[in-house]
Structure 1
Amino acid sequence: MTLELWLACNATSPGHVTQRLHLIVACLLIASRTAFASPCQFESQGEGRVAAIVDRRSLRLDDGREIRLIGIEPTATTRQALTSQLVGRDVRLRGNDDTPDRYGRQGALVFVGESDISVQATLLDQGDAIASAEITDKDCAAALMASEAAARRQKKGSWADPPAIKNAESPDDILAEIGRFAVVEGKILSVRQAGATTYLNFGRNWTRGFAATISKRTLAAFESAGITPKSLENRRIRVRGWVEGNTGPRIDVRLVGQVELLGANEPTGVRP
């Protein structure tokens, strides 16, 4: 709501009754639109026209700026989807920080024209990307995860392939994803701490089984969210992140959003 309209809505001068009623209705309509506005409407970071798709996660505007699409990790079809949707289109950028990364890219959510649905949400809804969990705003993160979940339910894009979600009971399959971003589901059999690291173990063999690791500096964020690592024991979860490890595969959990609690009877790969 603009400042001018806010002042009008809160004006105390009597005016004509009919005019006042019309003004009140207009104020209520605008307030309702604001209340139900799409999430991820962060501060504006400018606009421009897309000149080219640089790679699966970034694009170049006609003024030379390179933009990295935050909130998602690419799949095999991401670049093609970006090319068909964005090249030659006018876009708006939104985000909390426009400081370039070490590669000179500005991280942002991208919106085509006047749409209030981000390109990231569209890619997730089509199964052309995976939610990265890097966005910490709860409403925005939940909306992006919901878009991904819808694509999983409908087996769209990359989710049409059953191995798209890795089974924690098959560590060799996860180990084959070293250096890649992966989504893994399974039951945490034990929680152990070694030094400054907490291990969420999905296998009986601690050295060869899959585990998610949480550093001491990250524990505070989990506790603030009402989650203690020990409470995750015997719970089914979905964890996402970059796969690493020499013997058993590991995913380092740095953000609370990387972990999703699953219902006891929830089918693999589906989140209501």
Structure 2
Amino acid sequence: MTPPALRNSAAFPALAASLLVLATAGPAGAAGCLLEPQGEGRVATVIDARSLRLEDGREVRLAGIERGGTDRVSGRAALSAIAGGREVTLHGDDDTPDRYGRQGAFVFVAGSEHSVQSELLRRGEALVSSDTSEKNCAATLAAAENAARDAKLGMWAETTAIKNAESSGDILSAIGHFSVVEGRVLSVRQAGAITYLNFGRNWTRDFAATISRRIIPAFESANLGPKSLENRRIRVRGIVSSRGGPRIELFRVGQVEVLGGK
């Protein structure tokens, strides 16, 4: 029964609405990741470490994470253990398939408040991709990755899980793969429309992170202007390429983490 003080209060409708939202929130809302529902289904096949196919034929790409390292078998096995053959619900901002026909989504196994993405991260079987725009989702994923790293689970049991920016050869071994690289920015230089965060003194050999001129305003708005990163120890994540030395191109602020003072 509604208490009289609330029943006669103008605030009651708003409170009742809030309680209704909490009562009917799906798993994405319960886990602090406020995304729209995109349907449901049963997992028929786990394609790889980030993709699965539902019984109705939809192919789903797990949003917000990347496969960690080069071990394809481990990642697929971990996803199979969590979601294989299970009923799942999908959540996201947009259910439009990508150019490969895959629907990007946060996936929740029936009865779980944590996304499949979070579970993979907690086991050290994935890396946060930093392409999630919803802040609560991004924070949830980052916390899961940090917990696995602190506990040295999965990939984090290996000392090479985070590449040393001074070890160009080790970074080059991960070309084409999503990786995390850590080190001190020795200099910041601009060449044309590209700004280079140089972690070494030889641009033909050493590691650098690059930022396109059009992206700079976003970094400056986040107090991560390139010049402010000079002499700072930072961690960057992204796909490793080779242009002279090993490179990671920075598209989003979330790819950079400042680790300490100058």
**TM-score normalised per structure 1:** 0.84
Deviation at 1:141?
A: 1.0
Letter in 2 for 1:197: I
Matches of residues 82-161 of structure 1 in structure 2 within 5 Å? 82-161=79-158
Deviation at 1:88?
A: 1.6
What SS does structure 1 have at the residue aligned with 2:143? helix
Kept in 2, the 8 Å contact 1:9–1:27? The answer is no
What SS does structure 1 have at the residue aligned with 2:45? strand
Kept in 2, the 8 Å contact 1:185–1:239? The answer is yes
Structure 1: distance between partners of 2:176 and 2:81? 28
What SS does structure 2 have at the residue aligned with 1:226? coil
**1:67 maps to what in 2?**
60
Relative to 1, partners in 2 of residues 1:86 and 1:29: Cα closer, same or farther, differing over 3 Å?
same
Structure 2: distance between partners of 1:42 and 1:179? 30
What SS does structure 1 have at the residue aligned with 2:214? helix
Deviation at 1:11?
A: 5.4
**2:8 maps to what in 1?**
12
Relative to 1, partners in 2 of residues 1:218 and 1:90: Cα closer, same or farther, differing over 3 Å?
same
**1:219 maps to what in 2?**
216
Letter in 2 for 1:49: R
What SS does structure 2 have at the residue aligned with 1:56? coil
What SS does structure 2 have at the residue aligned with 1:208? coil
Deviation at 1:41?
A: 2.8
Deviation at 1:221?
A: 1.2
Kept in 1, the 8 Å contact 2:42–2:85? The answer is yes
Larger radius of gyration, structure 1 or 2? Answer: 1
**2:231 maps to what in 1?**
234
Kept in 2, the 8 Å contact 1:53–1:60? The answer is yes
Deviation at 1:165?
A: 0.6
Deviation at 1:114?
A: 3.1
Deviation at 1:82?
A: 1.1
Deviation at 1:79?
A: 0.6
**1:173 maps to what in 2?**
170
Structure 1: distance between partners of 2:156 and 2:47? 25
Deviation at 1:12?
A: 3.5
Structure 2: distance between partners of 1:197 and 1:111? 39
Deviation at 1:206?
A: 2.1
Q: Give ranges in structure 2 of 5+ residues lacking alignment.
A: none
What SS does structure 2 have at the residue aligned with 1:46? strand
> Is 1:209–2:206 an aligned residue pair?
yes
Letter in 1 for 2:32: P
Structure 2: distance between partners of 1:135 and 1:27? 28
Deviation at 1:240?
A: 0.4
Aligned residues: 251
Per-residue CA deviations over 1:190-241 (Å, capped at 9, x if unaligned) read: 0011100000000011221100000011112112212211000000000000
Q: Which runs of 4+ in 1 moved over 4 A?
A: 8-11, 23-34
Per-residue CA deviations over 1:119-175 (Å, capped at 9, x if unaligned) read: 001100110111111112222112211111111111100110111110001111111
**2:245 maps to what in 1?**
248
What SS does structure 2 have at the residue aligned with 1:107? strand
Deviation at 1:30?
A: 7.0
**2:161 maps to what in 1?**
164
What SS does structure 1 have at the residue aligned with 2:240? strand
Structure 2: distance between partners of 1:228 and 1:117? 34
- Of 65-74 and 130-139, deviating more is 130-139
Structure 2: distance between partners of 1:155 and 1:232? 28
What SS does structure 2 have at the residue aligned with 1:263? coil
Kept in 1, the 8 Å contact 2:203–2:244? The answer is no
- RMSD in angstroms over aligned alpha carbons? 2.8
Kept in 2, the 8 Å contact 1:124–1:144? The answer is yes
Relative to 1, partners in 2 of residues 1:91 and 1:9: Cα closer, same or farther, differing over 3 Å?
farther
Question: Between the two proteins, what is the percent identity of the paired residues?
Answer: 59
